[in-house]
Structure 1
Amino acid sequence: MSKTWFITGTSSGIGRVLTEQLLERGHRVAATLRRMDALDDLKARHGDRLWIAALEMTDRKAVRQIVDRAFAELSEIDVIVSNAGYGLFGAAEEVAEDDIPHQIDTNLTGSIDLIRASLPHLRAQGHGHIMQVASEGGQVTYPNFSLYHATKWGIEGFCETVAKEIAPFGLKMTIVEPGATRTEFGASLKRAPVIEAYEQSVVGDVRRAIENGAFAINGDPSKMAAAMIDIAESENPPLRLALGGNTYVGIRAALEARLAELEAYKHVTLAMDFLD
């Protein structure tokens, strides 16, 4: 059955691949991006089934306006995919002060604004599925990505809460957690100036691993997009969908370590309550 999808960040990466696959399957896509010409080839091939709008995720007013216009012009949208984002690369001390709010505004605030703008429409139509593209980095952490992780951990907490709030209305939420994927994401990283003291630490180790290829990037964006489409078709989609072999290993190890630490200090935790 044909559905209508609204997707942000469609000029490249998973957003672009997802748009391509949906159109090939006969679905309709409302695609937003910053460069309007980036989807010219798909528009020429698929015509009116591809609705395109320019959107900068840090423009809070524009986010709501574009969402409202998409629902008004397309009548109904079945799936909202919050995908736009980028990575700020550098140790916390290295990152420029002015770059911090832009990372937060794009990855976290922009996603929050998109979801909030969509909710009145989804409630009114009585159905809908929100997919937030977070990251393996919303469950695990790597040196050099502290600000990126802050946004991904933040949006996961927001979406998990919203999932509980919207369930009574028949609305669904899935947090998608891709690991390192073979897209243009690495090329779009904004890199902070290097502080030499960090070069001989774990920070430098990660940088060198990325540069020499030791940091495995195995994720297949085509397979990930197909998995997202399949999940949107399921009756009971998961709250979280981890994508990639390394993602599974990393998230499992992180969760096990957290649980072990919780248990190790259980005696302290439980001693903090009033006894009366």
Structure 2
Amino acid sequence: MTEFTGRGDPARSLALLWRTGERASRKGKPDLSVDRIVRAAIEVADAEGITALSMRKVADQLGVGTMSLYTYVPGKAELVDVMVDTVCGEMPMPADGPPDGPEEVPGGWRERLERIARDNLELLRRHPWMLQVSTSRPPLGPNLVAKYDYELRAVDGIGLDEVEMDSVITLINGYVAGAARGAVEAAQAETHTGMTDEQWWFAHAPFLARVFDPGRYPVASRVGQAAGEAHNAAYAPGHAFEFGLQRVLDGIAAFIESRAVASPPSGDAGQ
């Protein structure tokens, strides 16, 4: 089941995201706040997944009555928006005042995008429920905006126009989401099946040996054996991420070079 951001009341969601109308704690609950509620909700989602999230579970996590949450958060839809924005705030970013330009993101564009990809992967592995949340209508909160600005600065001044800059960041984040989904599923496979990769293979190998004809599937036989021996598994998420990321960056490099031929860029075009 996919959860969608942007489903809540726009005015309430934005007020909550930007903390423009946070109510004071009620008497008897001096430590209850939007931040504490959101952190408890993230803990529930981290442990049980976004489908298990409910206002009641968050209240139980905090040890308060469910209705007390509504003093601070209008409902689950707005809560999910703030959860996503809060997690975006975990992205390592420059923290000293407003950015002046791409030079604040160290390295050439390729190194910068590679760092962004790895940081996003770590973020999704830490909060796998984010992979079940569609942000096609993103929560326009301060952390998400700051993250987007930071990522864009990685490709600012290298000869791309604004739409191309946005497209490159969308490409990187889309690739990372796909890779993270595979990594999370591989990590969860043992828990859900009760078998390690090695145990799974030994359970299937004897039967496969009886029915599989290498002569009929020669390429699959040759490549599958080589890959299995190299990774000691049917799927190696770490290798898949690294290999794919470099190919994506190669493609971006070719695109930047084509733009440079058409119109020589000003600023940092280094890799």
TM-score when scaled to structure 2?
0.27
Q: Select the structure with the greater relative contact order (CA < 8 A; seq sep ≥ 6).
A: 2
TM value normalised by structure 1: 0.27
Give 1 or 2: higher strand fraction. 1
Bigger share in helix: 2
Q: Which structure is larger by alpha-carbon Rg, 1 or 2?
A: 2
